[in-house]
Structure 1
Amino acid sequence: MSSTIFPGSTLGIIGINRNGVAMIAATKKAGFNVGVYVDHSQPDITKMADFTIDGAYNDKQKLTEFGEACDAIIYQTPNIDSTVIRFLGQYAAIPQGINGLEIVQDRLMERAFLDQININIAPYVTVVGLDDVYQSIDSIGYPALLKPIQRGIGEQSMMIKRSSDITRAADFIDTGTYLLESWIDHTSEYTLTAACTKDDVEIFPLAQLEYTEDRKLISVASPAKVNDDMLEEMQRIIKSVAASLQYTGVFSVNFYVTSTGTLYVKNIELGLTSIANVYDNTTNVDQYEQQLRASVGMPLHVIRQLQTALLMIIRNYQAIAIKRQWLLKNNWKFRFFNNSNTDDPEGILGFVWVTGDADLEALRNQVDDTEVWNKPLPTSDTEEASKSIDEEQEE
């Protein structure tokens, strides 16, 4: 970014989701005007913005209108094609840059980038059809994941557990190149989130993730406990990514840890995530303020841990059970979303932060005692296991 952007200027946001409400609020609180570009109307998210432009991502006339109305534009998630951001760059500053976006949107480029900076990732090969899968599976091993090279909204990955699964890949593989990657059998998953500028990197405390068997996020615990050597390696990795990615703003690196203590990098995520919402009530600065500070040229806030918390994901089918906790728990903080799709029982209704001084295990026991998250989804319909792996953290 060529210059600092001061309050009174207009910051545009594109690629917005439910976290956009908090990003808009943080930007308005700091004295900036906010413009939002969406490809479909989302009034519950955008109502706090000064203006909203609703148009397709290939509508150059509306994109031009948006770009000319903004002093700088950020993408809240990496789901906006980099060509759109490059086009907007003709009219407004793009503080986050485009290089990092192009890398994370292409799985092959991302893995080449991680290889280049000596980071441990799962073995993989590229395939373009069933014949390639049959020829490559022996070197990759079972189970394996078949993924499109290009990341995108709503995409899915296919799990191949045995040779008979490969024939079903014929319906999964479309035109283009795919990635066949070893599935890392792991015992734990972690996320490390940081904010970076050209001159500084500030790292949030480590977060541990818990998922259901079909890859629905249950909880985020922070600060997570790992041995000192592993934490140092995670911090080294995120600093290496920050130094090489040519990106300004908030980003995360997701990790697998195996039963033998081997650390693998799963992927890089740019922008604001539901996972990093755990810091809203655990640190002295959240992801939204750090993203704003990086975007407008302010120095990053030094991050300090204030308390321990579990961020629990509330889904629609848990609505009745959670109401009782609303009345009982004095150390729980709630956030509900007005735009939740109530027709989907697994749709996200909101978040709850279960907070305490230091003992994560005590917080987990408190959550378990409520039985809100112990009860299964009340439905008999399940998706095919072969398509149950949700590669992206955001839903």
Structure 2
Amino acid sequence: MSPLPPGSTLGILGGGQLGRMLSQAASRLGFNVVILDPEENSPAGRVSQGQIVAAYDDPTALMVLGQTCQAVTFEFENVPATSVERLAQGGAVVAPGPKALAVAQDRVDEKTFLTGVGATTVDFVAVDSLDDLIAGLDWLGAPALLKTRREGYDGKGQVWVRSAAMAADAWHAVGERPAILEARADFVRELSVIAARGRDGRIAVYPLGENVHKGGVLKTTLAPAAVDTKTERRARAIARAILEGLDYVGVLGVELFDLGGGRLLVNEIAPRVHNTGHWTQDGCVCDQFEQHIRAIAGWPLGPTTAHARVEMTNLLGDEVEQWTKLSARADARLHLYGKAEARPGRKMGHVNRVKPL
């Protein structure tokens, strides 16, 4: 595929904040953007050339999107993999491809893939019944984390099982759906790495971020994280193995457990731009959103060196009402998502506090 020239049209499945920031980055590079999202007047749709209001699996909508756009991507991994396959079968250029989406949508498949490319994870077992859960607890020990195999994000669809006596309640709590039981990881902190792979196979990796969660939701990311050379090299090697194993095109987020001494476990991967990469908007010349657009359009990847130290803080629910105070700070850059309703725990925006390296 030749690099797409400015003036080309890109499609994005999903109209939330990630789609919005991808669209804004594409606009800076001279691209037009069409959003497909079932919600009218979506945050991304309002900053794009147009929006198709339809379900993600609507055949007609997918056909129109594929015929209108020279490349199509997605903003979140719960888009039906069959929709991406339908687009590709119809001749659309889709990145990342269906394989990455399918792997990331099933936690057992994801961890099986990761171990296959040499990226160590916690021990795990597939759970399809209460008996499986009890047997898994016997093998992994308690406490262990039970998660639904599919869907679930920001702490949803998961529960800690602290003893075998809790097994039945935990199985009920996840809806008695196919699940995964993960061993507890004795980690020092959570890190993440944002990496990209272009259509030519070249790879670019951003400095690591250190993350703090609150109530299962990411609260802050500090980047570049204070890590030793061994840890940095291992994180880069993991990212490269995943990108190449998936024949990936675009930006990928990798969440890591830091065990110390350069030992890292992969927690999850996200086949898209990632919340822990928002710091790049004000800490790098080419942020993760522009990088993703460059990759899917066949452009050269941009530089990933940090020119500032950034503390990214998510604004959840009514925390967005602090916008007047935050916008007055000389060291802070405010990013708001244009969402109408500030529900508790809902990501309404983020603020990047910029400091010298």
The alignment's TM-score, normalised by the length of structure 2, stands at: 0.92
Q: d(CA) in 2 for partners of 1:254 and 1:105?
A: 15
Query: How much does 1:347 deviate?
Result: 2.5
Q: d(CA) in 1 for partners of 2:322 and 2:299?
A: 43
- In the alignment, which residue of structure 1 is the partner of 2:279? 278
- In the alignment, which residue of structure 1 is the partner of 2:147? 147
Q: Is the contact between residue 147 and residue 179 of structure 1 (CA under 8 Å) also seen in structure 2? A: yes
**1:44 counterpart SS class:** coil
Question: Which residues of structure 1 form unaligned runs of 5+?
Answer: 359-395
What are the residue-to-residue correspondences of 1:284-363 with 2, within 5 Å? 284-319=285-320, 323-327=324-328, 329-342=329-342, 344-358=343-357
Change (3 A) 1:53 1:114: same
Q: d(CA) in 2 for partners of 1:51 and 1:356?
A: 37
Instruction: Choose 110-119 or 121-130, whichever is displaced more.
Output: 110-119
- In the alignment, which residue of structure 2 is the partner of 1:242? 243
- In the alignment, which residue of structure 1 is the partner of 2:205? 203
Query: How much does 1:42 deviate?
Result: 3.5
Change (3 A) 1:144 1:325: same
What are the residue-to-residue correspondences of 1:85-164 with 2, within 5 Å? 85-89=84-88, 90-151=90-151, 155-164=156-165
Question: Which residues of structure 2 form unaligned runs of 5+?
Answer: none
Change (3 A) 1:326 1:290: closer
Q: Is the contact between residue 130 and residue 169 of structure 1 (CA under 8 Å) also seen in structure 2? A: no
In the TM superposition, what whole-angstrom CA distance separates every residue of 1:100-157 from its partner, at most 9, and x where no partner exists?
Answer: 1111112122111111122211111112111111122121111111122223578511
What are the residue-to-residue correspondences of 1:5-20 with 2, within 5 Å? 5-20=4-19
Larger Rg: 1
Q: 2:24 matched to 1:35?
A: no
Change (3 A) 1:69 1:253: same
Query: How much does 1:175 deviate?
Result: 6.0
Query: How much does 1:224 deviate?
Result: 0.2
Change (3 A) 1:352 1:118: same
Change (3 A) 1:175 1:161: closer
Q: Which amino acid in structure 1 is aligned with residue 6 of structure 2?
A: P
Instruction: Choose 255-264 or 93-102, whichever is displaced more.
Output: 255-264
Query: How much does 1:37 deviate?
Result: 0.4
Q: d(CA) in 1 for partners of 2:153 and 2:191?
A: 23
- In the alignment, which residue of structure 1 is the partner of 2:75? 76
Change (3 A) 1:288 1:259: closer
In the TM superposition, what whole-angstrom CA distance separates every residue of 1:245-286 from its partner, at most 9, and x where no partner exists?
Answer: 111000011101236764211011111122211000111110
Q: Which amino acid in structure 1 is aligned with residue 28 of structure 2?
A: K
Q: Which amino acid in structure 1 is aligned with residue 204 of structure 2?
A: E
The structure carrying a bigger strand percent of its residues is 2
Q: Is the contact between residue 128 and residue 178 of structure 1 (CA under 8 Å) also seen in structure 2? A: yes
Q: d(CA) in 2 for partners of 1:115 and 1:354?
A: 36
The alignment's TM-score, normalised by the length of structure 1, stands at: 0.84
Q: 2:255 matched to 1:254?
A: yes
Query: How much does 1:96 deviate?
Result: 2.1
Q: d(CA) in 2 for partners of 1:261 and 1:246?
A: 26
Q: d(CA) in 2 for partners of 1:11 and 1:85?
A: 14
Change (3 A) 1:325 1:28: closer
**2:279 counterpart SS class:** helix
Change (3 A) 1:153 1:220: closer
In the TM superposition, what whole-angstrom CA distance separates every residue of 1:34-67 from its partner, at most 9, and x where no partner exists?
Answer: 1110022234331222221111123212221222
What value does the CA root-mean-square deviation take over the aligned residues? Answer: 2.0
In the TM superposition, what whole-angstrom CA distance separates every residue of 1:180-219 from its partner, at most 9, and x where no partner exists?
Answer: 111213220011001112421100111000112x222221
Q: Which amino acid in structure 1 is aligned with residue 207 of structure 2?
A: P
**1:27 counterpart SS class:** helix
Q: d(CA) in 2 for partners of 1:322 and 1:48?
A: 20
Query: How much does 1:163 deviate?
Result: 2.1
Q: Is the contact between residue 129 and residue 173 of structure 1 (CA under 8 Å) also seen in structure 2? A: no
In the TM superposition, what whole-angstrom CA distance separates every residue of 1:211-245 from its partner, at most 9, and x where no partner exists?
Answer: 12x22222110000112111111111111112211
- In the alignment, which residue of structure 1 is the partner of 2:48? 49
Give the number of aligned pairs.
354
